[in-house]
Chains A and B, each alone.
Chain A
């Protein structure tokens, strides 16, 4: 029953739900219906509007069809018109051609009549102008006209007359030009030069003019060379007279190019300069060679080069040389002359290049043609004897400069001297002066390859000849000699008494050692400065370097930094020498004194110890004496390095002797104080921080200065007060064990 009831109830619920749903649906439908009814008015008006539009659309369609047919008509008629215009155009060009032919014919007639008269009157300009007009007439057109015409013979006659006249004029002009050249009649030379291009003889004209100019250049060069040879020794230009002669040759040629280029450009058109320069270059080559031959002979170049080559071979085969060496000083001026000659040649090439390129810019538009001409310019320069001679000059220069550098540096080294109160000796200043001079001179050749070669050589000389000397001096070692000043003082006293006050051999060796060490240090600065200044100067001298050339230069310059590496090694070697012979033997006994002192103090003993001269006071006093010996004689950097090594030695030794001693609370306290004052003293002597070198020692003192074992936790672990320990846990335990008052078990119990 209850089951039925519940069933009934759920059914009732369902029906209720269904009813609700239907009610909702009904409501929505009502709403939709309302909306539609609302829109009805609007839709009705739309339909009415459309019905009104219908007739208008029909009209539009008609009109559009009309428009299409009109456009078709127009296009047809315009087609017809353009056809007519085309035929009109053709007709007009025919007329034009006809007029051209007629005017050609008239000109032909006039020219053929005028040309003979002009020739007879010696009015070559006028004659050439006629021929020029004739040549400018389209010859094939002329032929066609001839076949079209009835009066054939008349025209042919005119053509023949003009052709004859042309060849006649060509012969005459050539002849007259030569005549003018022979008489040195400048006005006529110019006159006939201008006629050549009118007769279509551009190349002949340029060739004729340049051949003439060659003779002029040759004559001047001949005269200049003669006067160079006869220049007296006393003349102040005597030492560079051949460079001067070469300069005159180049300047002369440049002037010739400069004065004639406008003439050629005006009458022959732009783009023809290379042709002229090609011819002139031949004379330049010849004259340059003559100057060089004379120079080689007078300056005895081959002999000098031969001696230098022999010398280098001798030294490399290590047999003693009997050859007279050439004093590098004697080569100085000659080397200067060569660089000047080389540079002038370089400048001349740059001049030609500039001229031809700018002529090309105006005259030749076609890029392919341009590349072709540029290529032939490049070949002209590359294959010229002048280039060849230039390379030879550079070769001579490099050989002589290399010898000059080597010998001068060798001289600087052998004449090395130390001024008292100077930290370095003369060889450093002298060597770098020479090297810089040579590199600068190489820059003045204007050749990057030359500069690079000299920089390479400089690296070799510095690394081998210069560094080797420094290294050898340091290898002699630093004699330990007297152990303290008192001893030294006593010896000095006896020396004075015996009347010999000169420094002893030991003293000299010491000075030599320290000076060599200082030399190495100051050389590193010289190398850096050299690199900077050289790079700047090269950038000024060769502003147009491309990336590749710059890379080349930088690579060579980086060779100089390997010299610095070398020098640093030398310094390190020297400092180690000092460590072994000057620092260790003195410091060890001073520090070892520590073991002879009682470190298990009572209160009374402590005050007694502090009242007297403590260990650290004595040590500092001794160190002070030692450092004072080196402070002024070493460069700052070397002195710093010296103190660094000294500090390492002192701290390491002190650590050792501490480990051999045994302390009580007060002993630890004293040690901590002493370590602090030692660190304080050394910090004050130098410019860098010694904290790091003292780290272990300070920590050892801290451990020994503890009140009790457990206090160690204040410094150990992860908390804020903890130190960064340089000591291992086992080291800490060992050090704690040095405290006689610390119990072994307690130390063992420490959790580290």
Chain B
């Protein structure tokens, strides 16, 4: 049955086509579905993981990147424990939009939310944003940083496990106090 000790909501945001859905699919189902259509509204997936022998249930909200779904997706920021902001390392415009996304996060999300910056598609040859540029941006805005490839399953597991561990630490800390 539903047997877990911690429940965390993780919301993925970022421009259309950066690979949010693929990251979620890779993590939750171990798949890389090619020719993934644009997400409509919000998709919802659940995966339970073990951290320190505790069951942690991750509720992953995969949002549509397209502007016209913004009203729907924004409404999920508030209750999120972690926000993953994704860009495509082979597409400069997706990186250029990050400040806009941060503004939205500031406006709608809780101030305590764990924020993670992810540069996806490192399997691609045509990289446009060097790793250190992403790193610097993340550091400047007080975010975790990770580069991933949903296609090659690189760092995907690590990304979500890291988030689960951190959120658990925070919630243990709050419980103890």
A residues neighboring B (CB under 8 Å): 316, 382, 388, 391-392, 394-395, 398-399, 402, 447, 449-450, 452-454, 456-457, 459-460, 548, 551-552, 555, 559, 562
- Determine whether B78 belongs to the interface, using a CB cutoff of 8 Å to chain A: yes
How would you classify the secondary structure of chain B's contact residues: helix, strand, loop or mixed?
Answer: mixed
A395 and B70 contact, CB distance less than 8 A:
yes
A-B contact count (CB 8 A): 52
- Per the bound structure, the CA–CA distance linking A394 and B67 in Å amounts to 12
Looking at the complex, which of B12-20, B38-46, B125-133, B165-173 is the stretch in contact with chain A? B38-46
Q: Render B106-129 as a binary contact track against A, CB cut-off 8 A, 1 for contact.
A: 010000000000000000000000
Task: Specify which of B41, B42, B68 is in contact with A392 (CB 8 Å cutoff).
Answer: B68
A453 and B72 contact, CB distance less than 8 A:
yes
> Separation in Å of the B8 CB from the closest CB of chain A?
12
Task: Specify which of B46, B71, B79, B107 is in contact with A402 (CB 8 Å cutoff).
Answer: B71
Given contacts A382-B37, A456-B75, 13 further A-B contacts (CB under 8 A): A391-B68, A392-B68, A398-B71, A398-B72, A449-B40, A449-B42, A452-B72, A453-B75, A454-B75, A460-B75, A460-B78, A548-B44, A552-B44
- Determine whether B48 belongs to the interface, using a CB cutoff of 8 Å to chain A: no
Given A316-B107, A452-B42, answer yes or no on A391-B69 (Cβ-Cβ < 8 Å). yes
Complex contacts, B78 vs chain A, CB 8 Å: 456, 459-460
Complex contacts, B59 vs chain A, CB 8 Å: 555
Q: Render B65-94 as a binary contact track against A, CB cut-off 8 A, 1 for contact.
A: 000111110011011000000000000000
Residue of B9, B37, B75 contacting most chain A CB atoms (<10 Å): B75
> Separation in Å of the B97 CB from the closest CB of chain A?
18
Residue of B9, B68, B72, B107 contacting most chain A CB atoms (<10 Å): B72
> Separation in Å of the A150 CB from the closest CB of chain B?
59
Given A449-B41, A552-B44, answer yes or no on A395-B69 (Cβ-Cβ < 8 Å). yes
- Per the bound structure, the CA–CA distance linking A460 and B46 in Å amounts to 23
Task: Specify which of B68, B69, B79 is in contact with A456 (CB 8 Å cutoff).
Answer: B79
- Per the bound structure, the CA–CA distance linking A382 and B72 in Å amounts to 18
Given A453-B75, A456-B76, A459-B79, answer yes or no on A551-B44 (Cβ-Cβ < 8 Å). yes
7 shortest interchain CB distances as A-B pairs: A449-B41, A456-B75, A398-B71, A552-B44, A453-B75, A453-B72, A391-B68
Residue of A316, A402, A552 contacting most chain B CB atoms (<10 Å): A552
> Separation in Å of the B157 CB from the closest CB of chain A?
22
- Per the bound structure, the CA–CA distance linking A669 and B42 in Å amounts to 72
14 A-B pairs within 8 Å (CB atoms) are namely A382-B37, A391-B40, A392-B68, A394-B72, A395-B71, A399-B71, A447-B41, A449-B40, A449-B72, A450-B72, A452-B75, A454-B75, A456-B78, A459-B78
- Per the bound structure, the CA–CA distance linking A456 and B78 in Å amounts to 8
- Per the bound structure, the CA–CA distance linking A623 and B123 in Å amounts to 76
> Separation in Å of the A568 CB from the closest CB of chain B?
17
Given A391-B69, A453-B72, answer yes or no on A551-B42 (Cβ-Cβ < 8 Å). no
Complex contacts, B41 vs chain A, CB 8 Å: 447, 449
- Per the bound structure, the CA–CA distance linking A39 and B46 in Å amounts to 85
Q: Render B1-34 as a binary contact track against A, CB cut-off 8 A, 1 for contact.
A: 0000000010000000000000000000000000
- Per the bound structure, the CA–CA distance linking A552 and B78 in Å amounts to 16
- Per the bound structure, the CA–CA distance linking A58 and B134 in Å amounts to 101
A453 and B71 contact, CB distance less than 8 A:
yes
Nearest residue, chain A, Cβ from B59: A555
Complex contacts, B40 vs chain A, CB 8 Å: 382, 391, 449
Complex contacts, B79 vs chain A, CB 8 Å: 456, 459, 559, 562
Complex contacts, B69 vs chain A, CB 8 Å: 391, 395, 449
Residue of B46, B71, B78, B107 contacting most chain A CB atoms (<10 Å): B71
- Per the bound structure, the CA–CA distance linking A399 and B74 in Å amounts to 11
Complex contacts, A456 vs chain B, CB 8 Å: 75-76, 78-79
Complex contacts, B68 vs chain A, CB 8 Å: 388, 391-392, 395
Nearest residue, chain B, Cβ from A447: B41
Complex contacts, A394 vs chain B, CB 8 Å: 71-72
> Separation in Å of the B24 CB from the closest CB of chain A?
13
A552 and B72 contact, CB distance less than 8 A:
no
- Per the bound structure, the CA–CA distance linking A251 and B103 in Å amounts to 44
- Per the bound structure, the CA–CA distance linking A453 and B71 in Å amounts to 8
- Per the bound structure, the CA–CA distance linking A382 and B38 in Å amounts to 10
Residue of A449, A457, A548, A551 contacting most chain B CB atoms (<10 Å): A449
Nearest residue, chain B, Cβ from A449: B41
> Separation in Å of the B141 CB from the closest CB of chain A?
19
Complex contacts, B46 vs chain A, CB 8 Å: 551
> Separation in Å of the B42 CB from the closest CB of chain A?
6
Complex contacts, B9 vs chain A, CB 8 Å: 555
Complex contacts, A457 vs chain B, CB 8 Å: 75
- Per the bound structure, the CA–CA distance linking A447 and B72 in Å amounts to 11
Complex contacts, B75 vs chain A, CB 8 Å: 398, 452-454, 456-457, 460
